[in-house]
A = this chain, B = another copy of it.
Amino acid sequence: MKAFYQDFKLGIIGGGQLGRMLLQACPNFNLHTCVLDPSAGGPCHGLANEYTQGSLQDYETVYKFGKQADLLTIEIENVNIAALYQLEKEGVTVYPQPSVIEIIQDKRVQKQFYLDHNIPTAEFVLVNNRADIKTHSGFLPAFNKLGKGGYDGGGVISLKDTADIDKAFDDYGLLEKTIEVATEISVIAARNSLGEISVFPAVECIFHPEFNLVDHLIAPSSLANEIQEAAEKIAEKLVKDLEIVGLLAVEMFVTEAGEVLVNEVAPRPHNSGHQTINANDTSQYEQHLRAILGLPLGSTKINKASAMVNLLGEEGYTGAAIYEGLDKLLKIQGSNIFLYGKETTKPHRKMGHITILDNDMDALREKVQLVKKAIKVIS
């Protein structure tokens, strides 16, 4: 691979915030970057050396974009897979591999993969439509998940009992047994083209006390060491079994009994790894680049405890974004802001995030509350 020269082209499919932060790491390896994204502007616009506007689902668009790249990667998994296979066949290096992306794109295939490889996961049954779900009413309470197309919390519905079945998706998907979750965690692992594997310490998702939403993330997690180690081992086994080249973010449930179950995975940088930019020896973005460039993986050690708070568009505001309270926010020692370059805000849109560094866990938790009060994205 003739990398580290100005003319080595890294193609990134998807131009969202994950691509943006990946682009911020690219200069360190002298990469020439091209991005494909459906939007005219957005987080990666103006930051990549080349920017192509086009659909990620269109075969011709993805094929043509990928054909010019020396190395092709993704920052979102909802991509035309046939085009990626064709590019791979024609000699373009595509990492993560199309075969891995294809498994992950379909939650049914993903779950079957866990079963086939003894990866612990909640019990499930595959369903083809709503009528199918009715025949499995004894399996409820369960989550009904769409096979394809769910993203960022979408494509999932909770079915408590048979009365809820009318709300279920009338589509290919699955029913996943509702389990009592004590904690949600995430582990990001990396595997390079030489087969080397490296795992970031587990990150804990703290839920909002009222809404069923992740409120913030804390790294390292407060879980017992053996649970963290179990989770990290599962992530390690997963990247090995998938033979993925690149990052794999593994979202997991921890039950009251301390059992660790895989929820779902993403073959790319992840929301739960933003804090690695400031808090770890190597950031998830640099780690992804090292993995796909065939370089030795970096140390994943945590240097400081941290929290990550998503900066969401305030309810009631849609339009050109205004960041109210940035001054107040940045007065909080150890806080760093990452704005995503989105011109317009709308309710709950991810407009940026804040990383807070503090080794005193009580002070860290206090600062999370201060951060949330300090800044608002309005219009």
Contacts and interface: CB of A to CB of B under 8 A. Distances in A.
Interface in A32-83: 32, 41, 46-47, 49
Interface residues of A, number: 45
Contacts of A331: 296
Nearest to A351: B30
Given A46-B32, A46-B49, A290-B330, A336 B24 contact: no
A309 to B, nearest CB: 15
Contacts of A290: 330
A80 to B, nearest CB: 28
A369 B375 CA distance: 45
Contacts of A337: 28-29
Contacts of A357: 281, 299, 303
Interface string A295-313: 1101101011000000000
Contact of A295 (B282, B330, B343): B330
Given A290-B330, A330-B295, A4 B336 contact: no
A295 B290 CA distance: 34
Nearest to A23: B27
A188 B139 CA distance: 63
Nearest to A335: B298
A367 to B, nearest CB: 11
Given A27-B20, A27-B24, A47-B27, A336 B298 contact: yes
A339 interface: yes
A182 interface: no
29 contacts: A4-B323, A4-B326, A5-B320, A5-B343, A6-B343, A20-B27, A24-B24, A27-B341, A28-B336, A30-B339, A46-B49, A47-B47, A278-B281, A281-B304, A282-B336, A290-B330, A295-B327, A295-B330, A296-B327, A296-B330, A296-B331, A298-B330, A298-B335, A298-B336, A299-B333, A299-B334, A303-B303, A303-B304, A303-B357
